[in-house]
A and B are shown apart, each in its own frame.
Chain A
């Protein structure tokens, strides 16, 4: 047998099951770190594949399909599941064996899915996962009878303890050889009457094979009484979100500073050891700075996803969506959009990456489009510089700092405009496409550390390999624009004035004059595309503020003497809206798999920024601040 198995080619096994069945935990337990994550062609659904070697030396390729309640696909994820099972995906034959993963304590709904799988005609195994919990509850399942009823082998597994895996692998491998149960697919999309009939049949099997638990889970109900209490629940959620936001914001800072400093030091070292010139500048300021600008987002992404994975694995995420649905729904957003939007206060990039928790495409795109309007941490250096230079340190009404008030106003305009924009998108462009909100509230569970770490590792890998591939070239492009051509012999101004960035700044300056921008401000916008805070450094360069340490103080003195208050306020208004961040656009491209949405985002945000700056400038001038 073993030599025979080893000579057979690799077999393809697909995992399918309801959401919350522990399917991904089983996938992680089976394949460990032997996983590859990519996208299915043309869609943004993740394709997770792993491999394992059987005792007989045969390779099994395991595909983790998105969770679903039926093969009737309703979201892009479910379309992938259906097409993968039916062998309709381009370049992917139907899997040799299906493993239907079921939560042993919650069999009712999955039995109907099993009946659908039976029609597909692929050999399949039913894995009763979380079997330890079922036993602890005193739930008795007649495995022999159940196997006879569904006509497939049954194995019991505990993915988190790696129990039952060998049995599962052996059963699946045996099916690849025996082809038991294989026939041509008779599956077609069921109508309501057929779903009712399948339900009745599933119910009959359930009653025949499953004795209700002697000690049913009561903890989930008790926890829900607190967490879903209308007032206390929202308060607890707010506290949780506050802690999360604080963590993303503050815990990440030391790591980000370390990465920033490390790459700056590396660039400095390389610059010092390479002969001065193009190559040195390219490696130091282009490549190393570019790689650094990708990696600098990693701490925030890891911390945010750590929290998200805990919330999802514990079962709280669905509760949070329940609590937030009404509030988000008022602006046309899905209940699940609150985490991406909240994270965007730290940085829009992890925020946009986390929109994966939203199933519906329009809901997800709306959230992605408004996420950069939330005031991210990279705007703070710009806001601080301008506010420090132009807003007097006075108090209003005796206790409020005027500077703080302006800062608050900038944050508030970001939030209000995000809600307004999403409202407009959902009422004007995607009218009437409010998806039904209906989701299972899973039983609470302790998150499994190994599982959380593996999923976190996957996230980090995706960001570095996929988003990095888009962000890095954009950063190099910005370096090229800011470096070439060189200033002519005997030039007196800073080098950037003579570069493409300088030339572009000169070109767009007439366009920006109506909103009160001078040419220095216009130039700062081009390298400022690398990241919002880079504009501060560029302003330092164009105003030839040489002392790098005292730069901000020195710069703010220069600015307050060179800009009018109206121009400064206009610059702030611009920064509330403008898409001054190439990495964000890169991530949107990666997440939507198309250049259309980054383009839409760029255009609408520039338009809003221009309008806001125009209105601010002219109002300020009319009030005598010109």
Chain B
């Protein structure tokens, strides 16, 4: 994935979407993909994490906005997800890719 991205120009990169795990407070956008892959060792399998995220409402097309960040390491984060609010760790959030609006609202 990262190899493929390396060939793209920087302007395309911005439109492709970033991991929710790296988002900052105020970032808002639309979810473009949900996987179970966080890049870290998880207690639950990728498939299980993916299903839990989906059941919580992290589904392609949903609107997401980072509302709050924790004090230590800005972790966990609280997001608005369509019309609910959800708290999760950045670790799990990194399984969600979001196409963020250029200017955070």
Query: Is there a chain B Cβ closer than 8 Å to A557's Cβ?
Result: no
B-side contacts of A199, CB under 8 Å: 54, 59
Most buried by A among B50, B86, B87: B87
Query: Is there a chain A Cβ closer than 8 Å to B72's Cβ?
Result: yes
A-side contacts of B43, CB under 8 Å: 432-436
B-side contacts of A439, CB under 8 Å: 86-88
Is the CB–CB distance between A326 and B72 below 8 Å?
yes
On whether A195 and B55 interact (CB within 8 A), knowing A228-B67, A326-B76, the answer reads yes
Is the CB–CB distance between B72 and A224 below 8 Å?
no
On whether A326 and B73 interact (CB within 8 A), knowing A74-B52, A195-B51, the answer reads yes
Query: Is there a chain B Cβ closer than 8 Å to A211's Cβ?
Result: no
A-side contacts of B67, CB under 8 Å: 221, 224, 228
B-side contacts of A179, CB under 8 Å: none
A-side contacts of B101, CB under 8 Å: none
Query: Is there a chain B Cβ closer than 8 Å to A38's Cβ?
Result: no
Is the CB–CB distance between A322 and B87 below 8 Å?
yes
Q: Mark A80-119, 1 if CB is under 8 A from B, else 0.
A: 0000000000000000000000000010110010000000
Query: Is there a chain A Cβ closer than 8 Å to B27's Cβ?
Result: no
Closest to B40 in A: A434
Tell me how far the C-beta of B49 lies from the nearest C-beta in chain A, rounded to whole angstroms.
6
Most buried by B among A216, A432, A438, A439: A438
Is the CB–CB distance between A108 and B42 below 8 Å?
no
Is the CB–CB distance between A322 and B54 below 8 Å?
no
Closest to B36 in A: A192
Q: What separation, in Å, do the CA atoms of A106 and B78 have in the docked complex?
A: 17
Q: What separation, in Å, do the CA atoms of A327 and B44 have in the docked complex?
A: 22
B-side contacts of A434, CB under 8 Å: 42-43
Query: Is there a chain B Cβ closer than 8 Å to A69's Cβ?
Result: yes
The 8 Å CB contact of A192, one of B41, B50, B82, is: B50
Q: Mark B37-62, 1 if CB is under 8 A from A, else 0.
A: 00001111001111111111101110
Query: Is there a chain B Cβ closer than 8 Å to A619's Cβ?
Result: no
Is the CB–CB distance between B57 and A437 below 8 Å?
no
B-side contacts of A327, CB under 8 Å: 72
Interface size bracket, B side: 35 or more
On whether A441 and B87 interact (CB within 8 A), knowing A224-B67, A234-B71, the answer reads yes
Query: Is there a chain B Cβ closer than 8 Å to A230's Cβ?
Result: yes
Is the CB–CB distance between B83 and A106 below 8 Å?
yes
On whether A72 and B83 interact (CB within 8 A), knowing A322-B70, A322-B78, the answer reads no
Q: What separation, in Å, do the CA atoms of A72 and B52 have in the docked complex?
A: 9
Query: Is there a chain B Cβ closer than 8 Å to A62's Cβ?
Result: no
Is the CB–CB distance between A440 and B88 below 8 Å?
no
On whether A438 and B71 interact (CB within 8 A), knowing A69-B55, A72-B51, A192-B50, the answer reads no
Most buried by A among B55, B76, B89: B55
The 8 Å CB contact of A325, one of B51, B70, B84, is: B70
On whether A231 and B71 interact (CB within 8 A), knowing A112-B55, A192-B54, A435-B43, the answer reads yes
Is the CB–CB distance between A192 and B47 below 8 Å?
yes
Is the CB–CB distance between B85 and A441 below 8 Å?
yes
Query: Is there a chain A Cβ closer than 8 Å to B18's Cβ?
Result: no
B-side contacts of A504, CB under 8 Å: none
| Contacts beyond the supplied A70-B55, A231-B71, A436-B42: 19 A-B pairs with Cβ under 8 Å | A72-B51, A106-B83, A108-B82, A108-B84, A109-B55, A109-B57, A191-B51, A192-B51, A195-B51, A199-B54, A230-B71, A323-B70, A327-B72, A433-B43, A438-B52, A439-B87, A440-B84, A440-B86, A441-B85
A-side residues, CB < 8 A to B, are 69-70, 72, 74, 106, 108-109, 112, 190-192, 195-196, 199, 203, 216, 220-221, 224, 228-231, 233-234, 318, 321-323, 325-327, 432-442
B-side residues, CB < 8 A to A, are 41-44, 47-57, 59-61, 67-73, 75-76, 78, 82-89, 91-92
The 8 residue pairs across chains A and B that have the minimum distance between CB atoms: A230-B71, A441-B85, A228-B68, A326-B72, A438-B88, A322-B87, A195-B54, A433-B43
